[in-house]
Amino acid sequence: MRRIIIYLFALSFWLCSCNQNDDMPTVSSQTEQTVIMFFPWSTNLTSYFLQNIKDFESAIESNILTNERVLVCFSQSPTKAILFELKYDKGKSVRDTLKYYEDPAFTTSEGITSVLNDIKTISPANRYAMIIGCHGMGWLPVAQTKASGMTTKFHWDYKGGPMTRFFGGLTSEYQINTTTLAEGITDAGIKMDYILFDDCYMSTIEVAYDLKDVTNYLIACPTEIMAYGFPYQTVAPFLLGDVDYSSVCNAFYNFYSNYSSPYGTIGVTDCAELDSLAVIMKEINQQFTFKTSQLTDIQRMDGYSPVLFFDLGDYVAHLCEDSSLLELFNQQLNRAVPYKAHTAKYYSAIINGAVAINSYSGTVVSDPSTNSLASLKEETKWYKATH
């Protein structure tokens, strides 16, 4: 059975099914939207997470909350976490502690469901959304990161340049499959408005397809993202209430265009359009076989060798030789990823340098990859749906 990584060190404080304090806070009346931010114990990113929270608080101090609540799950150590709420009070953002967790269950769907049920009790709402801030490595199976004798260096192993993020922990005990995350959300009876991955390589078609039934939209980066993460001081207002996905992308782009390391990519996937995209992709795969001689011609979106993540639109442009069918695919791809933005180049810690973006669809795919880390790609739900 495939083990898709979502390295959820973040869920170290979320996935708690035992050893929880029993003093649940008083339940408030139902709100329109509850936004859940949660951050992992990832050691070298803790200071950035604290800045993310402060940035969100700066937005709240502009009195942007109407009928929304913002809950933050913050891992204070590998075994301790705190749940608190960001509230507006007389021109300030204040933190109201709601609950503590100790010795959480890290990787089970039961643990995810348990904590989501806590949040539903604490902050009942018509709509929920989730922001995940940590590290990320797309869909890659846990087994691929801990295989015996594995000599591959991941982007978090490279030092000397600007720091980027990935999703989750460095070791398998802090990692979780995307399918497990989806199962936990499903069992809690929730479908998210959006899941925002503030992590590297999470705007992948394989990840989106795993999560399509538990979230309406996926907001993420198809490349590495600088360690600073999303600029919540300008993005937060567009994530609350009537979510403005176009403005989220614009705010992200404007920030990183002027950042000290001016590199940023973002895509917003409309998950309701993914099944239709898969149908067309399957038709293309039935008619055409990719020529590996074209690999170097496709837009690469990482620094790995061989490449792991390719721009989806550019890959299909090289695969499909039927212009009418290609146009049909591109139209559906634009519906599936309706909002996106990118700077002229993206940065990769692997090469400690930037790569030009000449083709961009807002999401990536590992289908043509010959990297050994992608050896289990045929077990992904996306691959099975399209071949």
* 73 occurs within a structural domain: yes
Query: What is the structure's pLDDT at 174?
Result: 62
- Looking at the structure, do residues 241 and 318 belong to the same domain, yes or no? no
- Looking at the structure, do residues 189 and 44 belong to the same domain, yes or no? yes
Amino acid (1-letter code) at residue 157 = D
- Looking at the structure, do residues 187 and 318 belong to the same domain, yes or no? no
* 3 occurs within a structural domain: no
126 by DSSP, 3-state: which? strand
CA dihedral 207, 382, 362, 290 (to 10 degrees): 140
- Looking at the structure, do residues 241 and 298 belong to the same domain, yes or no? no
- Looking at the structure, do residues 44 and 153 belong to the same domain, yes or no? yes
* 2 occurs within a structural domain: no
Spell out the residues 6+ positions from residue 313 whose beta carbon is closer than 8 angstroms to its own.
330, 333, 359, 360, 361
- Looking at the structure, do residues 252 and 290 belong to the same domain, yes or no? no
* 1 occurs within a structural domain: no
**CA distance linking residue 24 with residue 16, whole number of Å:** 14
- Looking at the structure, do residues 336 and 293 belong to the same domain, yes or no? yes
| Domain final residue, candidates 270, 299, 333 | 270
- The DSSP string of 288-322 is ----GGGGGGS-B-S--SS---EEHHHHHHHH---
Query: What is the structure's pLDDT at 152?
Result: 54
- Looking at the structure, do residues 247 and 309 belong to the same domain, yes or no? no
* 377 occurs within a structural domain: yes
Query: What is the structure's pLDDT at 188?
Result: 94
- Looking at the structure, do residues 287 and 316 belong to the same domain, yes or no? yes
* 346 occurs within a structural domain: yes
Query: What is the structure's pLDDT at 173?
Result: 66
Instruction: Please list the residues that pair with 38 across neighbouring strands.
Output: 73, 132
Cβ 227 vs Cβ 261: under 8 Å: no
Query: What is the structure's pLDDT at 177?
Result: 75
Instruction: Name the one residue in this structure whose structure tokens are 């922001």.
Output: 131
Instruction: Please list the residues that pair with 34 across neighbouring strands.
Output: 69, 128
| Domain final residue, candidates 251, 270, 289 | 270
| Domain final residue, candidates 206, 240, 270 | 270
- Looking at the structure, do residues 356 and 266 belong to the same domain, yes or no? no
Domain span including residue 339? 274-386
Tens-binned pLDDT, residue by residue, of the chain (387 aa): 333 344 443 333 333 333 444 445 555 568 999 999 977 667 677 888 899 999 999 999 999 999 999 999 887 877 888 899 999 999 999 999 999 988 766 567 887 787 788 889 999 999 999 998 766 667 765 554 444 344 455 444 444 444 433 344 556 666 667 777 889 899 999 999 999 999 889 999 999 999 999 999 999 999 999 988 999 999 999 999 999 999 999 999 999 999 999 999 999 999 999 999 999 999 999 999 999 999 999 999 999 999 999 999 999 999 999 999 999 999 999 999 999 999 999 999 989 999 999 999 999 999 999 999 898 899 999 999 999
Amino acid (1-letter code) at residue 195 = I
Pairing verdict, β 345-348 and 310-311: unpaired
Query: What is the structure's pLDDT at 5?
Result: 41
Query: What is the structure's pLDDT at 361?
Result: 98
Query: What is the structure's pLDDT at 171?
Result: 60
Asked, as a colleague might, if the bond just before 368 is cis with ω within 30 of 0, I would say no
E strands within the chain? 31-39, 68-75, 80-89, 92-102, 125-133, 192-198, 215-220, 265-270, 310-311, 339-342, 345-348, 353-356, 364-365
Cβ 243 vs Cβ 35: under 8 Å: no
Spell out the alpha helix ranges (H) of 81-177. 109-122, 142-146
- Looking at the structure, do residues 344 and 207 belong to the same domain, yes or no? no
Query: What is the structure's pLDDT at 43?
Result: 67
- Number of separate domains in the chain: 2
* Nearest CA-CA partner of 383 in 112, 108, 107, 141: 141
Length of the chain: 387
pTM: 0.88
**What tokens were used for 283?**
């038709």
Cβ 249 vs Cβ 339: under 8 Å: yes
- Looking at the structure, do residues 108 and 45 belong to the same domain, yes or no? yes
Query: What CATH number is associated with residue 155?
Result: 3.40.50.11970
